[in-house]
Structure 1
Amino acid sequence: MSLAKPAMRGLLAKRLRFHLPIAFALSIIAAAGFKYTVTEPRKQAYADFYKQYDAMKEFNAMKEAGVFQSVRPSGE
């Protein structure tokens, strides 16, 4: 009793026909998952922050704290 020879011819193409659609589907699922679990909440957080952000108020607070070297505080 002898063992059957392994089918080597066309093995790569046969394996790719099976694994390539699976890899493609998993990559699409991973990209969609990342988009809706990471990027969309991050975009919403930025939008919420900038709805109430006052750039001049922030600038004046940093100016008073002496952060800028070329801008003098209002008291001088």
Structure 2
Amino acid sequence: MSAALLPKPQMRGLLARRMKFHLIGAFLVSMGCATLYKFGVAEPRKQAYADFYRNYDPMKDFEAMKAAGVLESAPPK
């Protein structure tokens, strides 16, 4: 008698319904991670490179390395 009172479990379409829910969730989580990476890592890194190369003088850096004896092909003066 108590078996008749319990609702039957859903068997048809269960995988499709659960898959839709999990695919939407996975898509939203992955887009959130991509957005956080872009604005938390990539953009500050691009800005740091832009700031560094804005005032970078390669000849001054070359002369400093040459004076320190780092370069074997250019003897220090």
Q: Name segments (4+ residues, structure 1) moved above 4 Å.
A: none
- 1:40 match: 43
Amino acid corresponding to residue 53 of structure 2 in structure 1: Y
Structure 2 residue aligned with 1:53, among 43, 56, 60?
56
Q: TM-score, normalised by structure 2?
A: 0.82
Could you tell me how far apart the structure 1 residues matched to 2:66 and 2:11 are? 74
Segments of structure 2 that go 5 or more residues without pairing to the other structure are none
Report percent identity of matched pairs.
Answer: 58
Q: Do residues 12 (structure 1) and 34 (structure 2) align?
A: no
Q: Over aligned residues, Cα RMSD in angstroms?
A: 1.5
Q: Report the structure, 1 or 2, having the larger helix content.
A: 2
Could you tell me how far apart the structure 1 residues matched to 2:72 and 2:33 are? 47
Cα shift at 1:7 = 3.1
Segments of structure 1 that go 5 or more residues without pairing to the other structure are none
- How many equivalent pairs are there? 74
Q: TM-score, normalised by structure 1?
A: 0.83
